Amino acid sequence: MNAWKLMVFVLCLLPLGYLGLGIYEEDLGPNPVEYLTHETGIWALRLLLLTLAITPLRRFTGWRRPVMLRRMLGLFSFFYACLHLLIWLWLDRELIWSGMFDDVLKRPYITVGFIAFLILSALAATSNSFSMQRLGRRWKRLHRFAYAAAALGILHYLWLVKADLLHPMIYMVVFLLLMGLRLPGLPERKPMPFRRKVVS
């Protein structure tokens, strides 16, 4: 792992470290379970949107290096989504399976959130080189479902908060902007070549 990837890896772990510190110091507010559920879900969404921003960044700047980080960012998004689900299953629903299934079926915001998680699971499972070779052109079509996962994640957040819509609407605007930057016909900058270090 080069220094660039290591730095991003550490940055992606900082939210987890912050939450861990909050647990240790018992400083997660009046409802710790709700806070942990909210924060892990938000970071899953943030990292997913950051993953989707890689292609427009390369397209309009010609900067190719961030492309190497796309898989890592996507997997970290899935990691926080797993924590989000685990906290809900274990600490919120206390592993009462009948109640969990009822929630998934009867509460729309949980339904769309669970569908988004299933999509991310499929993308994470096929993010390796073996799957890319095995699926061929179908791999790219499959990983376009990341757009659907992001849209469902935002809808999950929007339906969850109900009244305070400012933050989910900000994420919605960012998502729509990222989708708009993918439209064909927009100007595109020629990719910059990687600079290789010269060893003397």
pLDDT at 1 over 60: no
Residues 77 and 101: their CA atoms lie apart, in Å, by: 24
Residue 147 resides in a domain:
yes
Min mean pLDDT across 56-70, 141-155, 169-183 is at: 56-70
Q: Is there a domain that residue 56 lies in?
A: yes
- What DSSP designation does 193 have? P
In-domain check, residue 37: yes
- Report yes or no on 199 lying in a domain: no
Estimate to the nearest angstrom the gap between the alpha carbon of 72 and the chain centroid. Answer: 10
Longest dimension (CA), the chain: 66
Supply the pLDDT for residue 51: 96
For residue 181, what are the contacts with CB-CB under 8 A and spacing of at least 6? Answer: 56, 59, 60
Radius of gyration of the CA atoms of the chain, in A: 19
User: What pTM value is reported for the model?
Assistant: 0.89
The predicted-structure confidence for 20-39, as pLDDT tens digits, reads as follows 999 999 888 889 999 999 99
Average pLDDT over residues 158-181: 91
Asked if residue 166 belongs to a domain, the reply is yes
What's residue 200's pLDDT? 38
Q: Is residue 137 part of a domain?
A: yes
Residue range of the domain that includes 145: 3-180
